[in-house]
């Protein structure tokens, strides 16, 4: 496909968000885009350096969990659960739990200097003595114990930097994002336009802060980025198919085979190892990134990193990761609350009927948005795969209402408003009830 020949135009870049530019991204040189100047103060530059040091040196916790799960794929032992997040609480005890995970140092009675630092100071100055692992551990624990400070609308000047660090997102020049926008409409543009106007329509906070034009630009730029990656991979496959033959000159049959390989994979995301260019629901998944970020470029790189490294299975054409997640919701609910699970099954209600949006969007489809942001702080810190347990926790919270209703479909058609603190506490309580082999499935289901 020609990248510059599409007649459809994107929303004008002159309407890009006027939010302050991120310290971690270079500002665009085009004055028509009204982008603020890059940071020039010593404090801002020091913050950039420390955030980059924290984010770039250490792989994300989710990636560590994935590697450990693959290494223990054969009959994991309970005490060696891959990155198990343990809790001293149970379902009925909502006291703040103490986590014990193999990927972090055990908590000691005496706090280290790093653990005593605030999140703001960790992000601004970096960990003392450049102890990145200690800094990441302290950051995760503080998110769990204190949360990221934000106003009543869920806005925080720190949140997007914390997300970028936890996702281990790379730093990109803003010009790279602008170049994708200036290419015009991507092959997925019509699908994107069919979804963006429906994104969180009932959320006043989101509609007030994020324009549809901004969402279109981000998703279209992402579609170009994924399209280019797929084209590059297909080119390598075609070249490899021809070069592996002993004949120095490829035969007509070899050329036909290579051409057929390209034609059959082009435009088809099913079964591919990389994410598709766009699937329905990505608009809602992108919404919290745009809401929390201070620039579109920040939201773009965080969202791209998330879907390509943490949950590529959610956005492939077949959405195989989502369907695996739905099966796990049914399995986990049967383990932690067999009575509730049996009642829902007796009504013909499996997770496919009520939990599809919650799995695909990491609960972003359930208001209010400030609570979703707090829940995402926890998921990015300890693993997006824990969204499966967060959904089960919401079902357990609704247990009495569901069991007393002759038609639970009405209750689960739209999940009640999220209370992030309650869901997180209950999720931590449920983890110790999950067998190790099931937990290993949860860790890798979105890959």
In the chain, where are the structural domains located?
45-104+111-444
Neighbours of 129 (CB within 10 A): 10
pLDDT recorded at residue 231:
85
What is the rounded end-to-end Cα distance, in angstroms, of the chain? 28
The whole-angstrom separation of Cα 73 and Cα 66 is 10
Strands (E), 298-441: none
CATH number of 45-104+111-444: 1.10.472.80
The whole-angstrom separation of Cα 363 and Cα 371 is 10
128 neighbors 144 (Cβ within 8 angstroms): no
The whole-angstrom separation of Cα 419 and Cα 367 is 9
Burial 319-335 (b: 16+ CB within 10 A, else e): bbbbbbbbbbbbbbbee
**Angle (CA) 204 209 214, round 5°:** 120
pLDDT recorded at residue 263:
32
pLDDT recorded at residue 360:
95
Structure tokens at 380: 């990015």
**3-state SS assignment for residue 110:** coil
pLDDT recorded at residue 143:
94
Neighbours of 312 (CB within 10 A): 20
Helices (H), 172-295: 174-182, 189-196, 204-209, 212-243, 252-265, 282-292
The CA-atom distances, in angstroms, between 280 and each of 226, 276, 283, 319 are 15, 11, 7, 10
349 neighbors 405 (Cβ within 8 angstroms): no
> 394-409, pLDDT tens digit by residue?
999 999 999 999 999 9
Model pTM score: 0.71
CA 408 to chain centre: 29
The CA-atom distances, in angstroms, between 431 and each of 64, 261, 331, 444 are 18, 44, 13, 16
Structure tokens at 74: 């054969």
Q: If you count them, how many residues does the chain have?
A: 447
The whole-angstrom separation of Cα 22 and Cα 242 is 45
Structure tokens at 92: 């009925």
Q: Which residues contact 405 (CB under 8 A, 6 or more apart)?
A: 411
Instruction: Profile the chain (447 residues) by mean pLDDT over runs of 10 residues.
Output: 48 44 41 44 47 49 56 42 37 37 36 67 81 88 92 94 94 94 94 94 94 96 92 69 52 41 35 65 96 96 95 89 97 97 95 96 96 97 96 96 92 93 96 95 95
Compute the CA torsion angle 354, 357, 360, 362 (nearest 10 deg).
-100
């Amino acid at each position: 496909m020609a990248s510059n020949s599409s007649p459809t135009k994107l929303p004008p870049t002159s309407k890009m968000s006027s939010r302050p530019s991120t310290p971690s991204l270079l500002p665009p040189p085009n004055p028509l885009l009204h982008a603020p100047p890059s940071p020039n103060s010593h404090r801002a530059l020091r913050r950039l350096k420390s955030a980059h040091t924290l984010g770039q040196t250490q792989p994300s916790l989710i990636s560590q969990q994935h590697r450990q799960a693959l290494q223990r794929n054969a009959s994991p032992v309970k005490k060696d659960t891959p990155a198990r997040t343990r809790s001293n609480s149970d379902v009925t005890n909502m006291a703040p739990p103490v986590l014990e995970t193999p990927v972090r140092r055990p908590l000691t009675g005496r706090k280290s200097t790093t653990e005593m630092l605030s999140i703001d100071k960790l992000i601004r100055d970096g960990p003392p003595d450049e102890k990145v692992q200690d800094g990441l551990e302290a950051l995760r624990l503080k998110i769990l114990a204190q949360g990221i400070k934000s106003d009543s609308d869920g806005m925080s000047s720190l949140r997007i930097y914390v997300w970028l660090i936890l996702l281990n997102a790379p730093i990109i020049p803003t010009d790279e994002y602008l170049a994708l926008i200036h290419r015009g409409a991507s092959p997925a543009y019509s699908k994107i336009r069919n979804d963006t106007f429906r994104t969180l329509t009932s959320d006043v906070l989101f509609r007030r802060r994020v324009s549809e034009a901004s969402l279109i630009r981000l998703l279209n730029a992402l579609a170009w980025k994924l399209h280019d990656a797929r084209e590059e991979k297909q080119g390598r496959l075609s070249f490899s198919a021809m070069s592996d033959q002993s004949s120095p000159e490829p035969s007509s049959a070899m050329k036909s085979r290579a051409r057929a390989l390209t034609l059959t994979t082009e435009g088809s995301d099913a079964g591919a190892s990389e994410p598709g260019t766009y699937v329905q629901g990505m608009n809602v998944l992108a919404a919290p990134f745009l809401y929390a970020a201070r620039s579109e470029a920040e939201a773009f790189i965080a969202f791209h990193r998330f879907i390509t490294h943490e949950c590529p299975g959610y956005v492939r054409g077949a959405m195989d990761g989502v369907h695996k997640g739905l099966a796990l919701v049914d399995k986990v609910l049967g383990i932690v609350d067999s009575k509730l699970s049996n009642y829902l099954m007796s009504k013909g209600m499996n997770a496919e009927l009520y939990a599809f949006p919650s799995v695909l969007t990491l609960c972003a489809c359930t208001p209010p948005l400030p609570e979703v942001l707090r829940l995402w702080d926890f998921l990015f810190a300890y693993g997006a795969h824990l969204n499966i347990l967060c959904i089960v926790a919401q079902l357990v919270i609704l247990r009495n209402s569901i069991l007393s209703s002759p038609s639970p479909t009405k209750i689960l058609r739209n999940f009640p408003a999220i209370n992030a603190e309650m869901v997180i506490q209950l999720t931590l309580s449920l983890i110790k009830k999950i067998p190790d082999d099931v937990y290993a499935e949860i860790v890798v289901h979105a890959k």
